[in-house]
Amino acid sequence: MKSYLRCGVPCLAVLALALAFSWPAGAQEKEYTIKVMPPGGPAPRLPNGRPDLSGHWFPNGAGEGVSGRFGVDPAALSTFDPKVTPEERPAFQPWALAKIKSMTPTELELSKSSVNCMPRGVPAIWLQNPYTTLMVHKPDMLVQLYEVLNNWRVIHLDGRPLPKYPEPLFHGNSSARWDGDTLVVESIGFDDRTYIMPNGWFHSDELKVTERYSRPSMNYLFVEITVDDPKVLEKPWKSAARRWTLGNGEVYEFYCTNNKDLDELLKLRELELKQGK
Amino acid sequence: MKVARVMSATAILCGLLLSAMPSSGHHSFAAEFDGKNCKDFTGTLTKLDWQSPHAYFYMDIKDAAGKVENWSFQTYALITLRRNGTDRQLFIENMGKEVWVRACLAKNGKERYAAAGTLKFADGILRQVGQLQD
């Protein structure tokens, strides 16, 4: 399946169709109440002919919430299956790997945005986010409204270059271009409090992130991420094409105002330090 | 038709491979709670703290000696609860009523504090309100 990553949107369309029609009518359709979405016809297009990426996107194959629900088709649960589209492990430089390995499990937990309520940032917002994203796409801008922590981001599509002296931002400083029907967004200048993944994968001030957005059909959005960080990685890392599906319903409010996890984990860390861990 | 057959075979393969995928979670349950120390609790719902990132509900629970103590239980993120139909009004309507919950205790030793997994209100419907632990 790696080959579809090289052949771009046509192959993503085939993958979307394959995912959507994984089960013909039969026993499994009766068993699951939440199923894999069908492709839904061709993707809509903007007046300038580009694919319109607008939509309320769910990080799964169902086009609705799947956490905490019974009757979900396992094939609809996640954004990708490592058995189908495997991701290579990031090739950390020895010092970076040693730094990650030195973290205790509790320290690792405390570093997660899902625990400390810091913005996930780019690219983690596409790699470790179980909540939805509403996208509003116009010919000159792509607005991303992230449900998690009420974060948002505006990507200008007017071809402006990357800044020479970028501010360190959670979502970085971006420059966008089209590669056929794929929107390619390159970003630099990231706040050093963000992590690439919730496994201690930190980044340096030389981090460059490339996002590739494609919408092979009405109901499917794919986002591929490339992480280039010459101070931390031996070579750039590329994600699988992460699948998001079109849904309805509310984009819920999420202000992190009652974070007890952080306090409890800090107490646990104190306990561990007393025990010499 | 040949294309259709290839598509069908690919689709079935994808389906089989995807069927074993885990669901995504908010954060690591295991870091904060002890999945080997889970219990069933039955008591009276006394309070709801409906804020992000997690809701907390409180119950008066009798211990073996008959002493009533107030416990707090953490749930999923509010967004997850709302999407699975466990909304705030459901808790409000069950205030003062008997509730059953299966939950796991905190690792840091905090007393009368646990992560809820499954819950039943008076309607008897099993609801998933937090990560399933055991």
Total number of domains constituting chain A: 1
Closest Cα partner for A188 from A112, A121, A89, A120? A121
Interface contact A271-B109, CB threshold 8 A:
yes
Best probe of the B interface among A258, A262, A272, A273, by most B CBs < 10 A, is A258
Please list every residue in chain B whose beta carbon sits closer than 8 Å to the beta carbon of residue A81. Answer: 14, 17-18, 21
Instruction: Using the predicted structure, report yes or no on whether residue B82 has a pLDDT greater than 70.
Output: yes
Flag the least confident range among A141-145, B80-84, B130-134: B130-134
Please list every residue in chain A whose beta carbon sits closer than 8 Å to the beta carbon of residue B111. Answer: none
**pLDDT at position B95, please?**
98
**pLDDT at position A22, please?**
43
Closest Cα partner for A229 from A87, A92, A111? A92
Rounded Cα–Cα distance for residues A57 and A54 (Å): 9
What is the nearest CA distance from A275 to chain B, expressed in angstroms?
Answer: 12
**pLDDT at position B21, please?**
31
**pLDDT at position B17, please?**
33
Q: How confident is the model at residue B133 (pLDDT cuts 50, 70, 90)?
A: low
What is the nearest CA distance from A105 to chain B, expressed in angstroms?
Answer: 7
- Residue type at B13? L
Is A121 in contact with A171 (CB distance < 8 Å)? yes
φ/ψ bin of A40: left (φ > 0), alpha (ψ from -120 to 50), beta (otherwise): left
pLDDT in tens, B117-127: 999 999 999 99
What is the nearest CA distance from A132 to chain B, expressed in angstroms?
Answer: 10
B83 or A24, greater pLDDT:
B83
Rounded Cα–Cα distance for residues A38 and A18 (Å): 9
> Radius of gyration over alpha carbons of chain B, in Å?
19
Q: CB within 8 A of A17, min separation 6: which ones? A: A39, A217, B7, B11
Predicted TM-score (pTM) of this structure: 0.84
B3 Cβ under 8 Å from any chain A Cβ: no
pLDDT in tens, chain A (277 residues): 333 334 454 555 555 545 544 443 444 456 899 999 999 999 999 999 999 999 999 999 999 999 989 899 999 999 999 999 999 999 999 999 999 999 988 888 888 998 889 999 999 999 999 999 999 999 999 999 999 999 999 999 999 999 999 999 999 999 999 999 999 999 999 999 999 999 999 999 999 999 999 999 999 999 999 999 999 999 999 999 999 999 998 999 999 998 887 888 888 888 888 887 7
Cis previous bond, A123, omega within 30:
yes
The encoded tokens of residue A113 equal 């945005």
Interface contact B82-A109, CB threshold 8 A:
no
Structural domain including A223 reads 2-274
Rounded Cα–Cα distance for residues A135 and A144 (Å): 5
Q: CB within 8 A of A27, min separation 6: which ones? A: none
Is A228 in contact with A190 (CB distance < 8 Å)? no
Rounded Cα–Cα distance for residues B49 and A123 (Å): 32
Is A37 in contact with A228 (CB distance < 8 Å)? no
Rounded Cα–Cα distance for residues A213 and A239 (Å): 12
**pLDDT at position A30, please?**
60
- Collapsed DSSP state (helix, strand, coil) of residue B65: coil
CATH assignment of B28-128?
Answer: 2.40.50.140
> Radius of gyration over alpha carbons of chain A, in Å?
20
Interface contact B23-A112, CB threshold 8 A:
no
Q: How confident is the model at residue B18 (pLDDT cuts 50, 70, 90)?
A: very low
Is A241 in contact with A229 (CB distance < 8 Å)? no
Q: Taking the CA of residue B53 as centre, how many other CA atoms within 13 Å lie in the half-sphere pointing to its CB?
A: 21
Rounded Cα–Cα distance for residues B51 and B75 (Å): 11
